[in-house]
Amino acid sequence: MNFYSKIADAVGNTPLVKISDSLTSNFRLFAKLEFMNPTGNIMDRMAYVVIEEAAKTKLLTKGMTIVVPTCAVFGASLSMVAHSLGYKLLLVTPDNLVPRNLDILKHFNPEIILTPAANGLAGAYKKANEIMLIRKDAYLLGQYREHLLEDRHYASLAQEIWNDMDWDLDIFVAGVGSGGALTGTGHLLKEKNSKLKIIGVQFAPGFEKKHADLKCSVHDVKLHNDKLIDEVITIPLDVAVDSTRQLAREYGILCGVKSGAAAAAARVVAARNESTEKSIVALFPDSSYRGQV
């Protein structure tokens, strides 16, 4: 029989899908479908590595409660991994969660403590530290441990892409985010091909106001390895939304707005003369199932 012994083992090894027509296109464009991780988001990789690392270093042991100040998307990833590996979880998150995201978290049945949205994630971190003064059986998990993210993406995501492309890749396109996936993956890919271009994607100003349900998963974090990035392309929210609809309509791919933005940026790059005969991979990090389209 061929099966996983636990759901956390299903993280990674996501498919690569071609989204260009070889008969009419003078480039090859592919999507790395990270939304096909168990909770529909690339953050499953992050959740797995930070919990696994804490366990390896003996900072986290069975019977302890993981305390995490976080947002809904990463909270779902953490819940999936924590339950799969046998840990209890306490999430501290701002109280402006949209009902659908809160319902998703409740399905995993973690402890949830809501903090005032006006205090942002800083308020959640403050509350988590207060909890740690009381909960002696708890481990405080930091969400943005960039060096761990880079190591894991360097070792898994980038290697998957390189292998699936049969060592033929010219351009990698991914959202900026906190920088882990973009620069961690870019590091290995540029080692494989020094001429490879790394393109970052960010949303135009106003994204948070128009998309409040995702705002706590959009960070203003300085990239710790930004010398790897050759260019950053800014995509308006309405263009990203139109792109997600086009992907569903033309390719049957149901993805979120961050994936739509990556696809839109990849098409901008693909339309350039210098991209003729180039192979391009765009990272699709999020699903449409949380109302993100």
Query: Is the same domain home to 233 and 204?
Result: yes
Q: At what angle do helices 257-270 and 237-251 cross, to 10 degrees?
A: 90
pLDDT class of 218 with cuts at 50, 70, 90:
very low
- Residue found by looking up tokens 């985010």 in the block: 177
Determine the pLDDT at residue 21.
Answer: 73
In-domain check, residue 222: yes
The residue among 67 and 26 whose pLDDT is bigger is 67
User: For residue 258, is pLDDT > 90?
Assistant: yes
User: For residue 6, is pLDDT > 80?
Assistant: yes
For 114, the token pair is: 């809501």
Q: How many CB atoms lie within 10 A of CB 173?
A: 29
Q: How many CB atoms lie within 10 A of CB 119?
A: 14
For 222, the token pair is: 């300085």
C-alpha to C-alpha distance for 38 and 51, rounded to whole angstroms: 16
Determine the pLDDT at residue 291.
Answer: 47
| Domain CATH for 169 | 3.40.50.1100
In-domain check, residue 145: no
pTM: 0.88
Region of poorest pLDDT, from 23-37, 117-131, 199-213, 262-276: 199-213
- Which of 140, 162, 185 marks a domain boundary? 140
For 89, the token pair is: 């979880």
Alpha-carbon torsion, ordered 273, 278, 279, 284, to 10 deg: -10
Per-residue pLDDT averaged across 26-55, rounded? 92
Side chain identity at residue 15, one-letter code: P
For 48, the token pair is: 């797995």
C-alpha to C-alpha distance for 20 and 27, rounded to whole angstroms: 8
pLDDT class of 57 with cuts at 50, 70, 90:
confident
User: For residue 73, is pLDDT > 60?
Assistant: yes
Determine the pLDDT at residue 173.
Answer: 96
Query: Is the same domain home to 204 and 88?
Result: no
User: For residue 149, is pLDDT > 70?
Assistant: no
pLDDT class of 212 with cuts at 50, 70, 90:
very low
pLDDT class of 293 with cuts at 50, 70, 90:
very low
Query: Is the same domain home to 225 and 241?
Result: yes
Q: What does the mean pLDDT of the chain come to?
A: 86
Share of the chain above pLDDT 90, in %: 61
User: For residue 215, is pLDDT > 50?
Assistant: no
- Which of 118, 140, 162 marks a domain boundary? 140
Per-residue pLDDT averaged across 277-283, rounded? 96
Determine the pLDDT at residue 179.
Answer: 64
Query: Is the same domain home to 201 and 81?
Result: no
Determine the pLDDT at residue 161.
Answer: 96
Q: How many CB atoms lie within 10 A of CB 242?
A: 13
- Which of 84, 107, 140 marks a domain boundary? 140
User: For residue 208, is pLDDT > 70?
Assistant: no
User: For residue 283, is pLDDT > 90?
Assistant: yes
Domain that holds residue 270: 7-41+151-284
Q: Looking at the 3D structure of the chain, how many domains does it have? A: 2
In-domain check, residue 155: yes
